[in-house]
C-alpha cells in the first residue's frame, strides 16, 4: 500500500540555542545547579560545546525570559541561576487565562476544586498566628461593610490567605492566578449590603471551622460558599435582584 506523505507532520529540528537552553534547564530542574550558581562565560561555554558565541548568547536570553537565570552587568556580572518565583509563575498562568478568554463560570469551576482542598488543608495546618491573620482580615471586612464600603478585595485576600495557610505551593500558585482574574471581574460589580452581609457570614463560619481544625466541615462550607457566590454573581449579571 502506498502511504501518502502529505498528511504526515513536519519534523522540526531545534536550533542550537534551544538545545543549549534545554540542556541547562534540565540541569537546573534536576538540582545539579542551584540558585546563585554562575553559568560559564559565553566564550568558555561556546568553546566547550563547540558552538558559536551567538548561540550561547541566545540560549542565555531564552533562559532569562523564562525566569530561570538573571543576567547581571558589571565586573561581577554574568549569568546567574535564580530561585523560582511564585509570582512570575502565577503571572504566566494569568496571561494564558486572559489570552484564552476564560469566563466567570470556568473560573468558578476551577475554584470549587482548588479551594475545597485548600480549606481542608488549612484546617489541618493552621497555626494560632494564621488564625489571627485570618481574623484580622475578616474584621477589617466587617468594618468596611459597616461604613458602606466595598469588601471585594478583602474577600479575595481572605481566600488567598486560606490557600497560603494550606501550604501547598501548586494549589496556591494556581489560585493566585485565578483570583487575579476574579479581582478584575469583581471590581466591576457593586454587591448589595445584603449580599455583603451573607458573604461575610459565610466567611465567619468558614474561619470557625478552620479554627476548630475540622477539615471536613471547612471543605463543605467552602464548597457551599463558592456555589452560593457564583449564584449571586450570575443573578447580578442577569439583572435580577440579589438575595
With contact defined as beta carbons under 8 Å apart, do 205 and 217 qualify?
Answer: no
Predicted confidence band of residue 243 (pLDDT cuts 50, 70, 90) = very low
Q: pTM of the prediction?
A: 0.66
pLDDT of 144 higher than 90: yes
Spatial distance between the Cα atoms of 34 and 134, rounded to a whole number of angstroms: 35
With contact defined as beta carbons under 8 Å apart, do 176 and 166 qualify?
Answer: no
pLDDT digits (tens, 9 = 90+) for 191-224: 889 999 999 999 999 999 999 999 999 999 999 9
Q: Hey, what's the cell of 193?
A: 449590603
Spatial distance between the Cα atoms of 236 and 238, rounded to a whole number of angstroms: 5
pLDDT digits (tens, 9 = 90+) for 174-188: 888 888 878 877 777
pLDDT of 225 higher than 60: yes
pLDDT of 96 higher than 90: no
Q: Which residue has the higher pLDDT, 176 or 164?
A: 164
| Domains with residue ranges and CATH for the chain | 16-81 (1.10.10.10), 86-237 (1.20.120.530)
Q: Which residue has the higher pLDDT, 14 or 112?
A: 112
Least confident span in 16-20, 21-25, 233-237: 233-237
Tell me the average pLDDT across 108-125: 94
CA dihedral sign, ordered 143, 144, 145, 151: negative
Predicted confidence band of residue 105 (pLDDT cuts 50, 70, 90) = confident
Spatial distance between the Cα atoms of 144 and 154, rounded to a whole number of angstroms: 9
| Short-list 219, 186, 19, 23, CA closest to 104 | 186
Spatial distance between the Cα atoms of 200 and 179, rounded to a whole number of angstroms: 18
Q: Judging by beta carbons within 10 Å of its beta carbon (0-12, 13-18, 19+), is residue 36 exposed, middle or buried?
A: exposed
Spatial distance between the Cα atoms of 182 and 109, rounded to a whole number of angstroms: 12
With contact defined as beta carbons under 8 Å apart, do 186 and 237 qualify?
Answer: no
Tell me the average pLDDT across 38-56: 92
Spatial distance between the Cα atoms of 9 and 228, rounded to a whole number of angstroms: 47
Amino acid at each position: 500500500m502506498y502511504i501518502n506523505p502529505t498528511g504526515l507532520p513536519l519534523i522540526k529540528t531545534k536550533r542550537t540555542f534551544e538545545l543549549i537552553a534545554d540542556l541547562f534547564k534540565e540541569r537546573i530542574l534536576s538540582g545539579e545547579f542551584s540558585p546563585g550558581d554562575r553559568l560559564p562565560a559565553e566564550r568558555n561555554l561556546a568553546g566547550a560545546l563547540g558552538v558559536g558565541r551567538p548561540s550561547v548568547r541566545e540560549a542565555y536570553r531564552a533562559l532569562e525570559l523564562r525566569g530561570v537565570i538573571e543576567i547581571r552587568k558589571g565586573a561581577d556580572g554574568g549569568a546567574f541561576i535564580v530561585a523560582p518565583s511564585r509570582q512570575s509563575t502565577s503571572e504566566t498562568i494569568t496571561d494564558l487565562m486572559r489570552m484564552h478568554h476564560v469566563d466567570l463560570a470556568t473560573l468558578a469551576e476551577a475554584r470549587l476544586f482548588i479551594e475545597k482542598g485548600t480549606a481542608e488543608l488549612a484546617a489541618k495546618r493552621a497555626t494560632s498566628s494564621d488564625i489571627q491573620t485570618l481574623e484580622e482580615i475578616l474584621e477589617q471586612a466587617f468594618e468596611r461593610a459597616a461604613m458602606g464600603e466595598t469588601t471585594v478585595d478583602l474577600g479575595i485576600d481572605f481566600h488567598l490567605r486560606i490557600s497560603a495557610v494550606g501550604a501547598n505551593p501548586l494549589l496556591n500558585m494556581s489560585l493566585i492566578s485565578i483570583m487575579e482574574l476574579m479581582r478584575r471581574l469583581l471590581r466591576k460589580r457593586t454587591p448589595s449590603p445584603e449580599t455583603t452581609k451573607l458573604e461575610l457570614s459565610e466567611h465567619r463560619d468558614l474561619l470557625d471551622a478552620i479554627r476548630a481544625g475540622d477539615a471536613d466541615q471547612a471543605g463543605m462550607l467552602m464548597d457551599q460558599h463558592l456555589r452560593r457566590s457564583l449564584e449571586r454573581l450570575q443573578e447580578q449579571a442577569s439583572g435580577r435582584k440579589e438575595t
